[in-house]
Amino acid sequence: MNNKTALLNADEFVEGECKTFRLADGAYEKECFIVFKDNEFYAYENSCPHTGAPLDWMPNQFLSLDKMHIQCSTHHALFRINDGYCVSGPCAGKSLKQLEVSIYQGGEVIEINGNGSP
């Protein structure tokens, strides 16, 4: 198993904001995203469990209009922000691949870990 890590600055986020980032380890690289909601950070691979297509409908835009769910740009599936579980759409009952998020140095640095292989 490979371990990939990304570092982000927590101070750069505002409520309801999402940002893409890449996890890389040698030749393997995966696009991911992080959501800051209700003073918590949630990170996922940017891949719909239905088709594998990226979820964002514009750069860094992953949330539904009401900002209550992560929404797939392809088939409009809706996923809970806190655990990536699909509540509506063609992949209902499946989940996004969630990544481990840790906050360090007084909340200034976010470390995201992803394990696995392509």
Q: Hey, which of 11-15, 21-25, 57-61 has the most confident mean pLDDT?
A: 57-61
pLDDT tens digits, one per residue of 67-101: 999 999 999 999 999 999 999 999 999 999 999 88
Q: At 9, is the pLDDT very low, low, confident or very high (cuts 50, 70, 90)?
A: confident
pLDDT of residue 28: 74
Q: What is the pTM of this model?
A: 0.86
**Domains of the chain from N-terminus onward:** 2-116 (2.102.10.10)
According to DSSP, the residues that pair with 20 across neighbouring strands are 33
- pLDDT, residue 115, reads 61
